[in-house]
Amino acid sequence: MALNEALVQSIVQEVVSRLETAPAAQQHGLFADMNEAIAAAKQADAVVRAMPIEQREKILTNIRRKTRENAEKLARMGVEETGMGNVPHKILKHQLLADKTPGTEDITTTAWSGDKGLTLIEMGPFGVIGAITPCTNPSETILCNAIGMIAAGNTVVFCPHPAAVKTSHFAINLVNEASLEAGGPDNVAVSIFKPTMEASGLMMKNKDIQLIAATGGPGVVTAVLSSGRRGIGAGAGNPPALVDETADLHKAAKDIVDGCTFDNNLPCIAEKEIVAVESVADELLYYMTTEQGCYAINEAQQAQLAQTVAPGGKLNRKCVGRDAKTLLGMIGVTAPEGTRCITFKGKKENPLIATELMMPILGIAVAKDFDDAVEQAVWLEHGNRHSAHIHSKNIDHITRYAKAIDTAILVKNAPSYAALGFGGEGFCTFTIASRTGEGLTSASTFTKRRRCVMSESLCIR
Ligand code: NAD
């Protein structure tokens, strides 16, 4: 056969494609085909179901330890592969999930006993859960989901974002190593070499998948909720931080900028814009720029930035999760050392304020009074019912805001990440079921309720 250019091209393409889909050395839980992956997870599930809860807990202990040991590596891999976020904050996120994601203690039993006997409601596993994960917190979501899902007695097939495959596969491998080292089965978490939308579609149709947890934007949540399977929808947010006239403005400026800039604004719960009442807006902006490393941009720069980060209203993926200095550099501004956030005052309809950008850009929409601020914040949250934040010392204001905005998360007088248990009470999760109402997910979210009745016995009252 003559070796012409077309033939060389096709050989090169074939080799590249094989290399792309070939398993990395000694990676557990990876398959060429989605149905094959699900079958392997089902086999592992039979072993997990038969296991004492104590052994499940040993697997979780190992996942936590491996997450801590690999926190820096996972953080670096995530940033390098996706180009988003920053390493120190991603390390903290991994440490947080290792320490504060609930395990088997989250699985509880409800009991009634009386003359007619004993009835229990137990939280049982679903079996193999399908989990679709984002590129913004790739390994964080996988490890956190794996802890909760395995704690509940399930195994899991992951459909990671194609832009974070390497990092996601590394995390899946850690989960299986953790299981094997605890005497558990391989394939408690599985995925495929090359995740695609088609493969996710196959997962959603597979009869062995009874529950799907989707963590991502509106498209994936709608797809899952239309699949005919039970779906947990952890969708998009656009959290406003409301600042009223009673707020401690120094603290509000610090908390809001700390929350907004965490991992370059990637967390779905992070402050995406501010709504401030008129009487405090300028002072807040002053503290943000003089004390908190915010760089104020003028109207022309706002237009330029909007055109760069969301041309034609469509998010420019190359800007998501980038730091403020890089974003400013893209519009020809050399920001001073220590710049960590971009700010300006503008109308709520400004695309830099109204859009969920996932970038350290904090526009301030000014409201004439508290009622107007609530109205604007509710509009800006776009009915996602995800997260909202408030800086106020007025309990009536806080209560009115909470009722009006109706979100899964409301943080008062703290950075948004307090909601994940970082500087706040409570457990950690990276899957916040905003659309379907479960709120912050944990092991118990990944169970089904089963009633177990013993008639006329076992009541010893
Ligand atoms: P994305 O929606 O682009 O992708 C998320 C996942 O869904 C990926 O695995 C992707 O491949 C898959 N996907 C997308 N559309 C799909 C479809 N139609 N069918 C099947 N699969 C599909 O989101 P992203 O950029 O990875 O993450 C950022 C978004 O996720 C933001 O909107 C953010 O608010 C949201 N998010 C929400 C939570 C939460 O807990 N509520 C957590 C993290 C991220």
Q: Which CATH number do you get for residue 172?
A: 3.40.605.10
Whole-angstrom Cα distance, residue 402 to residue 10?
59
Domain total in the chain: 2
* Same domain flag for 160 and 186: yes
Q: Is residue 281 one of the residues assigned to a domain?
A: yes
Residues 206 and 250 in one domain: no
The residue segments making up the domain with residue 38 are: 25-235+441-450
Distance 244 CA to ligand 1 centre (A): 33
| CA-441 nearest atom, ligand 1 | 40
7 lies in some domain: no
15 in a structural domain? no
Q: Whose CA is nearest to atom 22 of ligand 1?
A: 220
Domain identity same for 79 and 106: yes
Question: CB burial class (10 A; 0-12, 13-18, 19+) of residue 208?
Answer: middle
Max CA pair span of the chain: 89
* CA distances for 137 relative to 160, 161, 263, 430, angstroms: 10, 10, 9, 8
Which residues, at least 6 apart from 218, have a Cβ–Cβ distance to it below 8 Å?
235, 236
Nearest CA among 156, 137, 145 for reference residue 45: 156
Q: Is residue 459 one of the residues assigned to a domain?
A: no
Residues near 200 by Cβ (< 8 Å), separated by ≥ 6?
132, 159, 220, 223
The model's pTM: 0.94
Task: State whether 289 and 401 are in the same domain.
Answer: yes
Ligand 1 atom closest to Cα of residue 201:
20
CA separation for the pair 40, 62 (Å, rounded): 21
CA 411 – CA 402 distance, rounded (Å): 10
Q: Residue 402: inside a domain, yes or no? A: yes
Examine the domain organization and report whether 296 and 366 are in the same domain: yes
Ligand 1 geometric centre to CA of 235 (Å): 7
CATH number for the domain spanning 345: value is 3.40.309.10
Q: Are residues 159 and 53 in the same domain?
A: yes
**Which strand (E) or helix (H) includes residue 450?**
strand 447-455
| Residue owning tokens 């007695």 | 153
Examine residue 461 and state whether it is found in any structural domain, yes or no: no
**Spatial separation of the C-alpha atoms in residues 161 and 176, rounded to whole Å:** 20
Beta strands in 99-245 (DSSP E): 109-114, 117-125, 128-132, 155-159, 189-192, 209-215, 230-234, 240-243
By alpha-carbon position, which residue is closest to atom 9 of ligand 1?
161
Q: Which atom of ligand 1 is nearest to the CA of 237?
A: 34
Same domain, 321 and 227: no
Does residue 13 sit within a domain? no
| pLDDT tens-place values along the chain, 461 residues long | 556 776 667 666 665 555 554 545 579 999 999 999 999 999 999 999 999 999 999 999 999 999 999 999 999 999 999 999 999 999 999 999 999 999 999 999 999 999 999 999 999 999 999 999 999 999 999 999 999 999 999 999 999 999 999 999 999 999 999 999 999 999 999 999 999 999 999 999 999 999 999 999 999 999 999 999 999 999 999 999 999 999 999 999 999 999 999 999 999 999 999 999 999 999 999 999 999 999 999 999 999 999 999 999 899 999 999 999 999 999 999 999 999 999 999 999 999 999 999 999 999 999 999 999 999 999 999 999 999 999 999 999 999 999 999 999 999 999 999 999 999 999 999 999 999 999 999 999 999 999 999 999 999 98
Domain identity same for 106 and 83: yes
CB under 8 A, 24+ apart: contacts of 408-413: 408/432, 408/433, 408/434, 408/437, 408/439, 408/440, 409/239, 409/269, 409/439, 409/440, 411/259, 411/269, 411/387, 413/247, 413/248, 413/251, 413/252, 413/255
Best of 81, 220, 271 for a ligand 1 pocket test (most atoms within 8 Å of beta carbon): 220
> What would the two tokens of residue 99 be?
């320490």
Residues with CB under 6 Å of ligand 1 are: 132-137, 159-162, 197, 200, 215-217, 219-220, 223, 234-237, 268, 356, 430-432, 434
Q: 217 with 232: CB under 8 angstroms? A: no
Q: What angle do CA 173, 176, 180 make, to 5 degrees?
A: 135
- Asked if 258 and 394 sit in the same domain, the reply is yes
CA–CA gap between residue 431 and residue 224 (Å, rounded): 15
Tell me whether residue 455 is in a domain.
no
Q: Are residues 175 and 58 in the same domain?
A: yes
Tell me 208's DSSP state: T
CA of 217 to the centre of ligand 1 (A): 4
Q: How far is the CA of 439 from the centre of ligand 1 (A)?
A: 17
Q: Residue 66 is inside which H or E element, if any?
A: helix 53-69
Are 279 and 310 in contact, with CB atoms under 8 Å apart?
Answer: no
Residues 356 and 385 in one domain: yes
Residue 11, pLDDT score: 63
* Residue nearest atom 23 of ligand 1, based on CA coordinates: 216
| pLDDT value for 26 | 72
Residues 37 and 178 in one domain: yes
